[in-house]
Amino acid sequence: MASASPSLRRLSEQEYLALDRENPTKSEFINGEMRAMAGGSLRHSALGMRCGVQLAEKLQGRSCTVFSSDARVRTPSTGTYVYPDVSVVCGPIITVENTVDILINPLVIVEVLWPSTEDFDLNGKFALYREIESVKEYLLIHTKTIAIEQFSRQPDNSWIYRETKGRDALVVIPALDISLALDALYGSAMAIPA
- Pick the more confident residue, 9 or 88: 88
Distance separating alpha carbons of residues 45 and 86, to the nearest angstrom: 11
> What pLDDT score was predicted for residue 3?
47
**pLDDT above 80 (res 191):** yes
Of the given ranges (77-91, 110-124, 179-193), which has the lowest mean pLDDT? 110-124
* Nearest alpha carbon to residue 145 among 68, 47, 61: 47
> What pLDDT score was predicted for residue 8?
54
Dihedral sign from CA coordinates of 46, 167, 171, 130: negative
Spell out the CATH class of 40-191: alpha beta
**pLDDT above 70 (res 5):** no
pTM: 0.91
Q: 130: burial class by Cβ within 10 Å (0-12, 13-18, 19+)? A: middle
* Nearest alpha carbon to residue 84 among 42, 43, 137, 32: 137
**pLDDT above 60 (res 186):** yes
Q: Percent of the chain, pLDDT > 90?
A: 83
| Model confidence pLDDT, tens digit, residues 86-143 | 999 999 999 999 999 999 999 999 999 987 777 787 778 999 999 999 999 999 999 9
